[in-house]
A = this chain, B = another copy of it.
Amino acid sequence: MTLLLALDFGGTKQAAAIANAGSREWLGYERALSPRNANANTDLEIMRSLIHSLLQGVKPAAIGVSFGGPVDATTGKVRLSHHVPGWENVPLRDLLAEEFGVPTRVDNDANVAALGEHRFGAGQGYDSLFYITISTGVGGGWILNGKPWQGAEGMAGEIGHMVVDPNGPMCLCGKRGCVERLTSGPYMAQDAREILENESQRLPLMGTFQEKEHTQRGEILRGLVEGNLELITGIVVSEAAVAGDDLAREVLSRGGWALGMGIGNVANLINPRRFVLGGSVTKAGKVWWDVVTKVARETALPEVNFEIVPALLGDDAPLWGAVALSLDALMTQPQT
């Protein structure tokens, strides 16, 4: 039996799992939320305790690691975390390889999830694919010629900050109309909230007929949070859209449009065989998927073929990708 250790350093939670090579079942699986004031050291300490609880002193054959932030995959060095301080230039691969004395590989979460879907999920048998995760952020990972493509400095896959509408709303990155700004869960929630707030303010100025029209607009969405607009999340917007709320549908459709534009542009540029979409926003239902697919098809040239399919591994995609990474580490590194 070849025991593989898979680690997932998320921005807000850590997960670790073990599996035998060739198996698709976890032998063990542990996770923990990060504390409020997490830093690189607390993240590492939490991960060590998860690993200890899983392994009980048994040595794994290899380690694969998914990290939620930019990584130089060739050296396994973390560049930084956008969520947790202290991760700047941490040689995570070497640190774990020394501590456990086994071959180790580290890559960023989108790349690792792409590898997971490629080896064990919706991308099996597809030697070129782009995996896109759409949840609190939007990220992507490439498989080209059957292998991860990380880019010259490990930064490839950032479809979230492709500009699709230069006159669109301002993104935290400083640009307008990024894919992430239009289609991530929190931004869709924010936009829905702002439209509802503005409409409430406008009401007193209007006559009876318009007032009726406007109280109806977004009524289902408003109802779902019992009028407390602070409670609106991406998921609530999706639920309202599924229930027929016009305002929620509008916001969700704009998000789907942005992602569809991004996918169509990517299809023209790289011509991958498949797009695999994961993350919470992909649960938004048929309205969202229909818009994504339609706009992607319209944006790509007629000669450019591709399929858009949902991811299969869910939240475990980075961990299964880490299993694949650990296998690769085992095959290519000198044995100890």
Interface set of A (CB-CB < 8 Å, partner B): 70, 79, 128, 140, 142, 144-145, 149-159, 161-167, 173, 175, 261, 264-266, 268-273, 298-299, 301, 303-306
Contact = CB atoms under 8 A, between A and B. Distances in A.
11 contacts: A145-B145, A149-B270, A152-B306, A155-B271, A155-B301, A158-B269, A159-B268, A162-B268, A163-B164, A163-B299, A269-B270
Contacts of A163: 164, 261, 264-265, 299
A305 B144 CA distance: 21
B128 A152 contact: yes
Given A269-B269, A303-B70, A128 B155 contact: no
A301 B265 contact: no
A22 to B, nearest CB: 28
A211 B32 CA distance: 72
Contacts of A268: 155, 158-159, 161-162
A305 B150 CA distance: 13
A131 to B, nearest CB: 13
A277 to B, nearest CB: 16
Contacts of A264: 163
A161 B270 contact: no
A266 B164 CA distance: 12
Nearest to A175: B299
B305 A153 contact: yes
B144 A175 contact: no
Contacts of A155: 268, 271, 301, 303-304
Q: Give the interface SS of chain A, mostly helix, strand, loop or mixed.
A: loop
A174 to B, nearest CB: 8
Contact of A151 (B79, B150, B156, B270): B270
A129 to B, nearest CB: 9
A17 B145 CA distance: 32
A126 B224 CA distance: 55
B304 A166 contact: no
A166 B269 CA distance: 17
Contact of A152 (B156, B165, B265, B273): B273
A262 to B, nearest CB: 9
Contact of A265 (B156, B162, B304, B305): B162
A153 B271 contact: yes
A302 to B, nearest CB: 9
A270 B156 contact: yes
Given A144-B149, A164-B163, A166-B261, A173 B270 contact: no
Contacts of A79: 303
A296 B86 CA distance: 30
Given A163-B164, A261-B166, A304 B158 contact: yes
A269 B271 CA distance: 13
A268 B139 CA distance: 11
Nearest to A299: B163
Given A70-B303, A158-B301, A269-B269, 13 more contacts: A128-B151, A152-B273, A155-B268, A157-B269, A158-B268, A158-B269, A158-B304, A163-B265, A164-B166, A165-B166, A166-B261, A266-B269, A269-B270
